Amino acid sequence: MSSVVGLDGKPIVMQQPDKDLLSIQQEMLETIDRVDEYCKNRGRLGGLDWGMQSLNKAFDGLNPGLILVAGSPNTGKSAFCLQVAWNVALANQNIIPGERPNKAYSLYFSLDDNVTELLPRIIAMDQDIPINVVKAPAKYEDERPDLVARRAAGINALKRALPYFKMLDSTQGTSIEFIEEQIRRHHLELQSRDEAYKLVVFIDNFHDITVDQISFRDNANAKFEHISNELSRICTQYDIPIICTAELRKLNGARRPIVDDVKESGKIAYEAKAILLCYNEVGIKGESANIYFVRAEQEFASFKQPVLEVKVGKNKYSSYKGRMFYYFYPEKSQLREVNEADQSRFMQMII
């Protein structure tokens, strides 16, 4: 037996070739040792930190594989995906003594909105200020210099996040080939700097991904089947999570979505290790909604405020198949986990 030192400074015991084993048996022994070491190094959560307690609990941390976040337009799924990307980057920078160091790097592909639209949302979300303050600070300099100062703090926060957060938009590319090349490039550069870096990829959205090298003519099913296969392969090849928003088929009425409602759901639903189904009753029913919250601010107090429901429709990471709720602040592109009392109350209203 021999030992080498791992990233956490502890010795890793490696099996020496056993003369009594056939080469095919020795290969399996080495595979067992490698998987054992991989599992030991995953940490107490079993993966990276989502930056949200509800998601950590549902999935035992953030682990490699394709994860879909599906919902109708304007439900809040893109805001959810953007906030998760930012939270994951921030939550995985502290090294826990006695554990293998993991540093998450969030690579965000926006195939719909451009960075001019999205970066202000991150600043607003991070600093708890309206997006309009970030987009047009000159309008607020006289009346709300405090908000403008927080905007400046948000700009600095984005710059400090250079080691662990990056955003690309559709002006740079939308194809699966472009996405894979960027993943490969970022993976290699990060690993050359520090092997503790773990790449986490976000794509908004799946149905905007194009294909350069193959023509599918008008066969959308074949196109999205190919993209699903490619995303699944990339997850496996680079051992990374890919979190991807997805559209739903047009729903009749205001019912809550199910997995089969995901647009071109066959292959993508099969390849996904988890599917999160988003629903926003206020966004659909307005003042007739039953699931909402009330804000203290005078300008919002007279209107029902949206709650984003996230139902786990598929989960190959754990046995959890429940529903999570988040207070949604659209003007800040911000989500906050609901308290236990509201979680229980909302669940009772759905059951």
pLDDT in tens, the chain (351 residues): 444 444 444 555 555 556 677 787 888 888 888 777 756 655 455 689 999 999 999 999 999 999 999 999 989 999 999 999 999 999 998 655 555 567 899 999 999 899 999 999 999 999 999 999 999 999 999 999 999 999 999 999 999 999 999 999 999 999 999 999 999 999 999 999 888 889 999 999 999 999 998 998 888 889 999 999 999 999 999 999 999 999 998 887 788 999 999 988 788 899 999 999 999 999 999 999 999 999 988 888 889 999 999 999 999 999 999 999 999 999 999 999 999 999 999 999 986
Residue 94 lies in a domain: yes
Residue 239 lies in a domain: yes
Residue 138 lies in a domain: yes
Residue 10 lies in a domain: no
Pairing of strands 65-70, 274-280: parallel
Number of compact structural domains in the chain: 1
Statement: the pTM of the whole predicted model exceeds 0.85: yes
Residue 56 lies in a domain: yes
The 3-state DSSP class for residue 327 equals: strand
Residue 70 lies in a domain: yes
Burial profile 216-240: b = 16 or more Cβ within 10 angstroms, e = fewer: eeeeeeebbbbbbebbbebbeebeb
Instruction: Give the structural domain span for 235.
Output: 52-275
Describe the crossing of helices 115-127 and 77-91 by its angle, rounded to 10 degrees: 60
The enclosing domain of 148 has a CATH number of 3.40.50.300
> Cα(140)–Cα(195) distance, rounded to whole angstroms?
44
Burial profile 131-146: b = 16 or more Cβ within 10 angstroms, e = fewer: bebbbebeebeeebee
Residue 292 lies in a domain: no
Residue 182 lies in a domain: yes
